[in-house]
Amino acid sequence: MPGETLEIGGAPVTYEAEPLRVPDGPLIRFGERKTRVISRMQRPAAVLLDDFLGANECEQLIALARPRLNRSTVVDPVTGRNVVAGHRSSDGMFFRLGETPLIARLEARIAELTSLPVENGEGLQLLHYGAGTESTPHVDYLIPGNPANRESIARSGQRVGTLLMYLNDVEGGGETVFPQLGWSVVPQRGQALYFEYGNRFGLSDLSSLHASTPLRTGEKWVATKWIRTRRFVPRDQA
Ligand code: PD2
Ligand code: ZN
């Protein structure tokens, strides 16, 4: 997979994970909110957090997103236009940066967690999975092999981190799975999974390959924040 190795002085350099800039210890404080660390992983560099969002915040996000859902889209590698996502059968929508006071508050919390500025974040995406829908294995970083991705990287830098925020408990399936690790996260309301896949050499970590397994029954709601190395500039604002 491109991005995994680089040549320096004629010798291949393989991806080495750098530690997350997430604070140490069992509890992370965001103002009044105390978030418990459930688990940490070295590669891909990841942390699983309890109570990153309150129940009310989860419900408000779902209520704001529900009337605006469309079939999930991705950027077409050749045209650069938004097209229905091949790897994802969920519905989705994007908020603008700081669109509402709730979104701005969550973006500030995410910046505090990751030590990456709010402006490096893409607009928060909400995904809604119904029974039978899934996201097949993919990496979140941009593969620079096509013009649209190269332009996006030139505008905003590479994607280096993903925060997944689970907005409801799932009834069966719908787990975020990392096939290279044989590890999966079972969504629980208010929990968040943060993982990074870019290091200081500009390499990307293939072990961050992940998927959402088919949802057997009920619904799954998740909010995704993708974070760049620099300020995110959308294609229509370049
Ligand atoms: O919904 C998920 O668990 C999931 C899995 C893989 C979301 C994404 N990728 C994503 O939004 O990139
Ligand atoms: Zn993903």
**Tokens matching residue 43:** 């590669």
User: Residue 2 — very low, low, confident or very high, per pLDDT cuts 50/70/90?
Assistant: low
Pocket test for ligand 1, best of 74, 88, 134, 176 (most atoms within 8 A of CB): 176
**Tokens matching residue 132:** 């039978």
pLDDT at 192: 98
Count of alpha carbons within 13 angstroms of residue 29, beta-carbon side = 2
- Phi/psi at 196 (nearest 5 deg)? -120, 150
* Mean of pLDDT values over 16-22: 92
The rounded Å distance from CA 112 to ligand 2 centre is: 22
Residue 112 CA to residue 153 CA, distance in Å, equals 24
pLDDT at residue 126 greater than cutoff 80: yes
The rounded Å distance from CA 211 to ligand 1 centre is: 6
pLDDT at 80: 57
Pocket test for ligand 1, best of 133, 166, 189, 210 (most atoms within 8 A of CB): 210
Quickly tell me which residue has 């402006």 as its tokens. Answer: 119
Give the largest CA-CA distance in the chain: 54
Domains located in the chain, CATH noted: 27-237 (2.60.120.620)
Does the beta carbon of 212 lie inside 6 Å of ligand 1? Answer: yes
User: Do residues 156 and 226 make contact, with C-beta atoms less than 8 angstroms apart?
Assistant: no
Query: Among 66-70, 86-90, 160-164, which stretch is predicted with the lowest mean pLDDT?
Result: 86-90
pLDDT at residue 113 greater than cutoff 70: yes
pLDDT at 235: 86
Reported as type and span, the H/E element at residue 108 is helix 101-114
| 146 DSSP 8-state letter | S
pLDDT tens, position by position, 183-236: 999 999 999 999 999 999 899 999 999 999 999 999 999 999 999 999 999 988
pLDDT at 10: 67
Angle between helices 101-114 and 55-65 (to 10 degrees): 120
- Buried (b) or exposed (e) across 159-173, using 16+ Cβ within 10 A? bbbbbbbbbbebeeb
pLDDT at 194: 98
Residue 96 CA to residue 159 CA, distance in Å, equals 18
Does the beta carbon of 160 lie inside 6 Å of ligand 1? Answer: no
pLDDT tens, position by position, 49-84: 999 999 999 999 999 999 999 876 655 555 655 666
